[in-house]
Structure 1
C-alpha cells in the first residue's frame, strides 16, 4: 500500500518534527505501507494558483504531484492554527484535485487543549469536496509539547500508540478497498 504522509507545518522551529518522527517510526514498524513523505517545510509551493504555472512552480509540482498521484492513501499530520489547519496544507490541497479522488485520508493532529481536532474537522469538509474518503478515527495529541520527552519519545505511549495502530489498520483497509474499486472501474467524479 503506497501511503503519502503529509507533514503539514512549515513554521520554523515547528513541533511537528517531533510528532512526525514519532509517526514515521510507527510506520516503519509495519510492512503493509510503502511511505512517501511530503514535508511542507521542504516543499515550497507557490501561494497563488495560475493556470499557466511558471517553470519554478512546475518544478516543485513535478516533485510533489507524482507522490500524491501514486498514493493509495494519505496520512495528514497537522497542527491547529487559529482553530483550523495551516495555510501550507490548504495550499497543497488546492494545487491538486484528481490526486485525492476516491482515496482515503487519515489524520494525526496535535495542539493545545483541542489536540488539533478543530483542524481535522475543517479538513474533513475540504477533502469531502475533493471526493476523498476520510477515516473516522484520528490520533489527537492534546498539549503535545508536554507529551514527549526531550529525545522525542512519548512519556506515556500506551494511548497514542493504540490510537495510531487503529488508525493505520483502518487506513490500510480503506486503501485496499478503494484501490480495488478504482482498478475494477474508473471513479466517476
Structure 2
C-alpha cells in the first residue's frame, strides 16, 4: 500500500455544542482506520482559532501556523453546516487567509443541516475552492437533520451505509491526493 497521505480535516464552524465536532471526530477516526491518511483535525475555535483580521496580515499570531498546517497537507476534508443557504463566515474568513496552500490538492466535503443537509453550502464552497486552485472531489457526505442521524455515542445511526459512503469518498480523495502529489513533485504548481 502506498504511503499515507496527510489529511487536514477542517471543522468549519465555531458554534457552541456544534454537530461539526461530533461529525469531525467520527470522520477523523474513519479516515485514520482506512489506512489511507494520517489525519490532523483543524478547528476554528480556541485553541485552534484563527484570529479575525484583514486578509494577508500575517503579523497576527495564529495565521502563519494555520497556513503552515494547510501547506503540509496532501488533501482536505471540510466539515460544514449550512447557515441561511450558505456556509459559515468563519470558514470563509479562514479560506481567505490562504491561497497557495490549497493549490493542486483535493478537497472533499461533509455537510449537515436541515432538509438540505448542507448541500447548498457545499455548492458554494466548490466555487470558492476552484478559485483556490484546489480539485473538488465529487463524492462527499451529507447529513439531513443532523441531530437525528447520529446517536449519543457519536456514531451514525445507519453505520454500515454511512461508513460505506465515507470509504468511497476517502478512496477518491486518496486517488486524487496521490496523483496530484506526484504531479507537484515533478513540477511545482506555481512554477
Bucket of the pairwise TM-score, normalised by the shorter protein: over 0.9
Q: Show the counterpart of 1:82.
A: 84
Alpha-carbon distance, 1:50 to partner: 4.8
1:108 to 107, 110, 119: 110
- Deviations 1:45-95 (CA, angstroms, capped at 9, x unpaired): 2333155544xx1x2023211110011111101111111111111111000
Contact 2:118 2:144 in 1 (8 A): yes
Rounded Cα–Cα distance in structure 2 between residues aligned with 1:188 and 1:70: 16
Contact 2:55 2:96 in 1 (8 A): no
- Deviations 1:123-156 (CA, angstroms, capped at 9, x unpaired): 0000001111100111111111001111211111
Alpha-carbon distance, 1:19 to partner: 1.0
Are residues 182 and 15 of structure 1, via their aligned partners in 2, closer, same or farther at CA, if it must alter by over 3 Å? same
Are residues 85 and 13 of structure 1, via their aligned partners in 2, closer, same or farther at CA, if it must alter by over 3 Å? same
Q: Following superposition of structure 1 onto structure 2, how do residues 27-176 of structure 1 map, counting pairs within 5 Å?
A: 27-42=31-46, 43-54=48-59, 57=60, 59-176=61-178
Q: Following superposition of structure 1 onto structure 2, how do residues 4-43 of structure 1 map, counting pairs within 5 Å?
A: 4-42=8-46, 43=48
Unpaired segments ≥5 residues, structure 2: none
- Deviations 1:19-68 (CA, angstroms, capped at 9, x unpaired): 112111212212221111211123332333155544xx1x2023211110
RMSD across aligned positions (CA) = 1.4
Are residues 103 and 141 of structure 1, via their aligned partners in 2, closer, same or farther at CA, if it must alter by over 3 Å? same
Rounded Cα–Cα distance in structure 2 between residues aligned with 1:23 and 1:112: 20
Equivalent residues, number = 186
